[in-house]
Structure 1
């Protein structure tokens, strides 16, 4: 009888442990992201960035250079407008309603970014799983150089390009051009291993930019991690200096 009781107790303990493991697995996304965000965007090395640029065609380079030229012209014109020097800068948002989709998996920040941007630009979008497949997302995340070609394949309103490690000035000019001139969202990749001046630490995450101040002093982000943890907002602002300190790329 004692052996039977011991066996039953052992069996009960195994069942309880099995139930706990199943529950913990189901809650893995929330548990693992407490205090730090899951890595969903692959951060490219300098060599990988060079390889990407080396692989671009002449037409792609022509499109990139033309867009940068226009963005810089807009910046020069803006600098001559004395009204921008007023004491209170004005936030400019993309027109209409922008919806930020919460990422459905821990490595889906870039598919969620792409879905939110395409949905805004066209009024419809594929599921995050389908987008992840199209982008080549794997367990390590998504290569950020795939975002611009994907966006360009889904709409013709904006020709998106990838720019690695922009200076604060270039970052502001590029995002201002998208949001104000083109009235379209942009995207930023970030790395913030300490979590300083942010809601969380991350080794690679994708965000949407849907508003900017007219003096380019602040940027508004839309975050696919919004709502996944207490205090993690869908929309929030950061100064351009803070944003640039963690910026690894923009797609604009």
Structure 2
């Protein structure tokens, strides 16, 4: 009886050890699978060179332009005043009433940034590729807009877009846009087929899958009365290769990410 009990105890111990080994293997497999889905090196990026755009338009600038009391636009040779006044007028209007199911989106193709600090060139490429149907390489764009290992600035990005787009109104940079203005910019972008260029800072929380102190991407859709905004992000496939390139965030998340960036700018 004693030998039988001892033998049973030994078998039980071996079984427990084998079970623990299987659990450990399963945990390792899960960890490896997670690593395959998420590139930890892309969980924190920064492609922002860190300069505020001198041509950014504040609310006071917008009102002065619309009232004919500012020459801020006329001083820039690549600004077409009529198209800018038209879009600034749309930006300043009260939001048009829409149904709860309203929305729209542009099929912006994602171009994954080829370097950790290439979100600027990649976003410019995404923008122009949608507008023109073609675009230059990220390296060509990076050289043209002055991208360095420190990143890019929004102002030369917008100048390059204006100089190279085949159609559409002139892009302008809006300073400190409110939540309602951000929504109107995205609505305008969808209506006129010209993706918004966002300049953001966010943490890895909510719908954000990584963190950044300075990042560029496109806003190109909205739904549910503007409560959600569609983004096309040149870094998301670096983080999650299975991603399609675009994803939804709330309007509040996009506003906070814009407002938390030191420059507080957006171009459309």
Q: Which residue of 2 aligns with 1:216?
A: 226
- Aligned partner of 1:251 in structure 2 is 267
Structure 1 residues 226-247: Cα deviation after superposition (integer angstroms, max 9, x where no partner)? 2112378311101101110011
Indicate the residue corresponding to 1:195 in structure 2.
204
1:147 partnered with 2:163: no
**Which residue matches 1:93?**
105
Which residue among 64, 67, 84 is the counterpart of 2:87?
67
Larger Rg: 2
Secondary structure, counterpart of 1:67 in structure 2: helix
Q: Is the CA contact 2:55–2:173 (under 8 Å) kept in the aligned structure 1?
A: no
What SS does structure 2 have at the residue aligned with 1:121? helix
| Displacement of 1:183 | 2.2
Partner residue in 2 for 1:39: 46
Whole-Å Cα distance in 2 between the matches of residues 145 and 115 of structure 1? 15
Count of matched residue pairs: 205
Change beyond 3 A, Cα 1:90–1:232: farther
Q: Secondary structure at the match of 2:238?
A: coil
Query: In 2, Cα distance between the equivalents of 1:56 and 1:222?
Result: 31
Match of 1:118 among 120, 124, 128: 128
2-structure distance, mates of 1:179, 1:214: 15
What SS does structure 1 have at the residue aligned with 2:46? coil
Q: 1:226 and 2:236 equivalent?
A: yes
RMSD of the alignment, in Å?
2.5
The alignment partner of 1:125 has SS state of: coil
2:157 is the counterpart of 1:157: no
| CA displacement at 1:53 relative to structure 2 | 4.6
CA distance in 2, matches of 1:157, 1:214: 26
User: Is the deviation greater in 130-139 or in 228-237?
Assistant: 228-237
Could you tell me the TM-score, scaled by structure 1's length? Answer: 0.73
Q: TM-score by structure 2 length?
A: 0.69
1:191–1:246 CA contact under 8 A, matched in 2: yes
Contact 2:131/2:193, CA 8 A, preserved across alignment? no
Alpha carbons 1:186, 1:209 under 8 Å: kept:
yes
Partner residue in 1 for 2:177: 166
> Gapped runs of 5+ residues in structure 1?
1-29
Counterpart in 2 of 1:22?
none
In structure 2, the CA distance between the partners of 1:90 and 1:70, relative to structure 1 (3 Å rule), is closer
